[in-house]
C-alpha cells in the first residue's frame, strides 16, 4: 500500500502520550470485543445489560471513546470479566499477581515464562516462579 507523504508527516507530529492513549483505547475495545465473542454475546446484549442504547455501545466500540473507570467497572460487572488489570499492586501477603491476556499470540519457536507472583517480603530480585512456560511451535 502506498503511503500518503502528507499523512505520514502529520503522524510524526503526534506526541507519544497521544499515541499511547489511542493504543489503550483500542486495546480496551479489543478486549471488550474478545469477551463478547467468547461468550457469544453481541453489542446489543451489552447495551441491554448496561441500560444503554445499541447506538451508544456502537460508538464506544469504534475505539475513540474515552472510557471512565466507572464505565469500565459497569462493563466488567455486566460481562463478568476483567477488562483491565492494575499490575504491581501487592495483596495482603505482599504478592503481586500479573494477569496475561488469554488471547496472547507467542512468536514461533520461542517460549515465554509466565510469572504469576513476586514476593516483595524478600528481595525484589527473588522471584517465585509459580506459572508455566508456554511455547508455540
Give 45-80 pLDDT, tens digit per residue.
999 999 999 999 999 999 888 999 999 999 999 999
At 81-132, the pLDDT tens digits run 999 887 766 666 666 555 555 554 444 433 334 333 333 333 334 343 444 4
Q: Are residues 26 and 40 in the same domain?
A: yes
CA distances from 2 to 7, 11, 33, 77 (A): 11, 15, 30, 44
Q: Are residues 97 and 73 in the same domain?
A: no
pLDDT at 113: 40
pLDDT at 125: 40
- Domain boundary (79, 99, 116) is at 79
The residue among 39 and 94 whose pLDDT is bigger is 39
Give the separation between CA 78 and CA 49, rounded to whole angstroms: 6
* Strand ranges for the chain from DSSP E: 95-97, 110-113, 117-119, 133-136
- Domain boundary (32, 58, 79) is at 79
Q: Are residues 118 and 52 in the same domain?
A: no
Q: What share of the chain is helix, strand, coil (3-state, %, to 5)?
A: 45, 10, 45
Give the separation between CA 100 and CA 80, rounded to whole angstroms: 17
Distance of CA 113 to the CA centre of its chain: 19
* Residue 66 Ramachandran class (φ > 0 left, ψ -120 to 50 alpha, else beta): beta
Instruction: Indicate whether this model's pTM tops 0.85.
Output: no
Domain that holds residue 99: 85-137
pLDDT at 13: 86
Least confident of 6-15, 16-25, 49-58: 6-15
Q: Are residues 30 and 66 in the same domain?
A: yes
Provide the pairing of β-strand 133-136 with 110-113: antiparallel
User: Has residue 24 got a pLDDT over 80?
Assistant: yes
Amino acid at each position: 500500500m502506498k503511503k500518503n507523504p502528507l499523512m505520514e508527516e502529520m503522524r510524526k507530529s503526534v506526541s507519544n502520550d497521544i499515541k499511547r492513549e489511542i493504543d489503550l483505547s483500542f486495546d480496551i475495545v479489543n478486549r471488550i470485543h474478545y469477551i463478547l465473542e467468547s461468550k457469544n454475546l453481541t453489542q446489543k446484549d451489552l447495551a441491554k445489560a448496561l441500560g444503554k442504547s445499541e447506538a451508544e455501545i456502537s460508538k464506544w466500540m469504534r475505539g475513540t471513546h474515552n472510557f471512565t473507570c466507572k464505565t469500565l467497572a459497569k462493563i466488567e460487572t455486566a460481562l463478568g470479566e476483567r477488562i483491565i488489570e492494575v499490575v504491581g499492586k501487592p495483596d495482603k501477603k505482599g504478592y503481586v499477581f500479573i494477569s496475561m491476556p488469554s488471547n496472547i499470540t507467542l512468536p514461533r519457536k520461542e517460549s515465554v515464562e509466565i510469572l504469576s507472583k513476586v514476593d516483595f517480603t524478600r528481595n525484589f530480585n527473588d522471584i517465585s516462579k509459580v506459572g508455566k512456560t508456554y511455547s508455540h511451535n
